[in-house]
Amino acid sequence: MFPIRRAFTLVELLVVIAIIGVLVAMLLPAVQSAREAARRSQCVSQLKQVGVAFHNYESTNQRLPIGTYGCCWGTWQVSILPFIEQGALFDLYHMEHKFGVPVDDARYSNLPNFPVTTKKIKVLTCPSDTNPQRVANSGITYHNYVVNFGNTIYDQSDYNGVKFLGAPFFEEISATDHRPGVRFAEITDGLSNTIMVAETIQGQPGDLRGFSWWRGGAVFQGYQGPNSSIPDCLYSGGQCDPTKLLNPPCIIATASTPTMMASRSRHAGGVHTVLCDGSTRFVSNNIAIGTWRAICSSAGGDSINDF
């Protein structure tokens, strides 16, 4: 008599496969959530390092670095390289020739600076932005952190009824502009009430947001709230592309809608920031716009409740 062979039937196998599929589908969101939580934690850790770098810079130089040098001759990102363990890159950058004096080889896009501007700096790159960009042909890199240019617009003037009330950073516009950087003591609203650094996104091809070797990609302003639906206003055509799926809204700046860029992130619900005291805060997209503008100004005398 032949022994009875026990095995799964086809129906039983299909049921098991279906159950496994359901379990995987149930677990996948939890896995993705855990991965994003880990990425956010790393992003916060990196922002803390950036905050420490600015404090060390201010302690060494008695002032914060200049935010930007005209369109193309370096930004704060170059200045803090020695304070984020990138001293070798700082030594390679020709920042001493700002504004083409004495020779025009200090632009981020000029060949002498390519060994620096084509490097992706990990501590300045949020891992939640999973589509890192480079400029086509040149390979110049994008990053995810930007400094605070105040509560209104890029040129730091009053706009649409909102008075400009100071900022930790500004633009040095020419070789004859010798304004020193801002001292912590000059931030009269208090270091714990003023944002120093916030997040930005890396714009998809054809979009220069996050292109932080360049002035327009290295800063943010507080007229718009975090991750605002109000479009960013960039200088000219070819610098923003709202048609790309992952790009936030943007338009070309005009006299009535001047240049301004909001703080933005790939995180759900808000943006991470570093205050001038070095602490990190996650700021909700739902923050009252008046409060947001108050923490983006440095000398407004505002009374700010917990945010």
Distance between CA 264 and CA 221 in Å, rounded?
11
Q: Beta partners for 146?
A: 198
Q: What is the pLDDT of residue 19?
A: 75
pLDDT tens by residue, 56-108: 999 999 999 999 999 899 999 999 999 999 999 999 999 888 888 887 778 99
Among the listed residues 17, 14, 13, the one whose alpha carbon sits nearest the alpha carbon of residue 25: 17
Confidence of residue 26 (pLDDT cuts 50, 70, 90): low
Task: Please provide the average confidence, as pLDDT, over all residues in the chain.
Answer: 90
Is the confidence at residue 131, as pLDDT, over 90? no
Among 24-28, 77-81, 156-160, 251-255, whose mean pLDDT is lowest? 24-28
Among 92-96, 145-149, 212-216, whose mean pLDDT is lowest? 92-96
pLDDT tens by residue, 246-274: 899 999 999 999 999 999 999 999 999 99
Among the listed residues 172, 200, 202, the one whose alpha carbon sits nearest the alpha carbon of residue 264: 200
| Angle at alpha carbon of residue 294, lines to 253 and 222, rounded to 5° | 20
Once rounded to an integer, what is the mean pLDDT over residues 184-210?
94
8 A C-beta contact, residue 141 and residue 77? no
Is the confidence at residue 112, as pLDDT, over 70? yes
Burial class of residue 25 in the structure, from the number of CB atoms within 10 Å of its CB (0-12 exposed, 13-18 middle, 19+ buried): exposed
User: 236: how many CB neighbours lie within 10 A of its CB?
Assistant: 10
Q: Is the peptide bond before 102 cis (omega within 30 degrees of 0)?
A: yes
Distance between CA 147 and CA 77 in Å, rounded?
9
User: 53: how many CB neighbours lie within 10 A of its CB?
Assistant: 25
